[in-house]
Chains A and B, each alone.
Chain A
Amino acid sequence: MITVMSPISRGFHRRRQDPGENAGRIPPGQYLVKDFPVLSAGPTPHTALDQWSFSVSRGDRQKTWTWDEFRALPSQDVTVDIHCVTKWSKLDTAWQGVSVDTLLAEAGQDGPFAMAHCDGGYTTNLPVADLTGGQAWVAYAYGGQPLEPEHGGPARLLVPHLYFWKSAKWVRSLELRDTNDPGFWENYGYHIYGDPWREQRYAGD
């Protein structure tokens, strides 16, 4: 491996406010934003709630909820920090959603890995160990309001301890698998796991 000594950029200095007591909440290479940037590979899908469903499957076994059934599940309020691979981080974002623990328990399913499938064809892969234990939700509200389509509404995955591309927008199903197959961005050179604290942005990081 070649280690490059970073050149000093003369005349470059911090212009953003020192994050102070929040410094420990910002992973390496990230900067804080106050707004909520939108990043997606294609047009924003607009799925009507009466056409929406969510399912958990493994092989031929599948559990499906309609929107009303999904919303009748116990939900949680969570406030978390989020970190996008494009370098922005946002602190104390407030969401409401159904814990993936609840969804897997209701479905009676388990497995080592999951592929999230979304409207628009987007996919992302995660270890189930990162979706359980109170670490992940299918979120339907942000800041007390229904989640806007451009931010992933009606519902998106929320896995705040991984880079935010893992928090798939417009999520419609979790498919449990035996293998950790790459999803959409993972196929285009992004990291298979995506831990922001280890700066796992791209394959091999």
Chain B
Amino acid sequence: MARAALRGRLTWQVARVSAVSGETAAVKTITLDMPDWPEHQAGQHLDVRLTAEDGYVAERSYSIASAPGEPVAITVERLDDGEVSPYLTDELRPGDDLELRGPIGGYFVWGPGDGGPLLLLAGGSGIVPLRAILRHRERTGSEVPVRLLYSSRSLDDVIYQGELGRPAAGVEVIHTLTRHQPAGWAGYARRVDAALLGEVAWPAAAMPLAYVCGPTSFVEAASQALVQAGYPPLRVKTERFGATGGT
């Protein structure tokens, strides 16, 4: 299980913002030029440090949205009462500098050698590290079968909507919209629970590997349901908000 990541010191470095693109009304993807970036693993995160003119400093962690080998990108949801996220989504422009260090974390990661089938469960912006895993799978030519179940409040809140609408061969993308559904919506419209996972998740007998990322309540409910369905706990990797988003 343990794939120890031995490395040297994680030094702060200054990245240059190369692009800022909107994903939803509240979510943007920020692409970065990094002078010295040790290749990350799909699923890892990085730390951002902001310094105000008066010297005030704030640090937060964000999941890396891009696959290893791609330009490093983070996807940030604007939290209205947040401190760092409104700056990143509203103020940051291409050409600006951003101080960060990483990559961080080595458990909630996937590489082709980890196999599958993969069950990816995302709640809200919990999709971000799972998107990195999907892109990594495609870029490495892995044929591991994937089911992604993505829970959003409404269609307008679905991040990476275009990309997820054109999944690679062997990837099934299943949406559930928990609060508002567009007219004629034929997909799921309920919270992720044991019953929904009973319809969507790979059977435990297939020895799937599950990655669950989202708010705590989502992760608790989904991961418990998988364990009750027979998934070994060590095959269910979780990442709860706070580790990545926060404010």
Contact = CB atoms under 8 A, between A and B. Distances in A.
Interface of A: 1-2, 4, 6-16, 28-29, 31, 37-45, 84, 86-88, 120-121, 150, 182, 184-185, 187-189, 201-205
B223 interface: yes
A81 B11 CA distance: 28
A36 B104 CA distance: 22
A150 B52 contact: no
Nearest to B51: A6
B216 A9 contact: no
What secondary structure prevails in chain A residues at the interface with B?
loop
B220 A150 contact: yes
Contact of A13 (B49, B54, B99): B54
Interface string B1-17: 11011111111111000
A120 B233 contact: yes
Measured as residues with beta carbon below 8 angstroms from the partner, the interface class of chain B is: 35 or more
A39 B108 CA distance: 12
A187 B2 contact: yes
B10 A205 contact: yes
B157 interface: no
A150 B4 CA distance: 26
A188 to B, nearest CB: 4
B242 A88 contact: yes
A15 B11 contact: no
Contacts of A9: 50-52, 87, 91-92, 96, 98
B99 A39 contact: no
Nearest to A18: B56
B175 to A, nearest CB: 24
B239 to A, nearest CB: 8
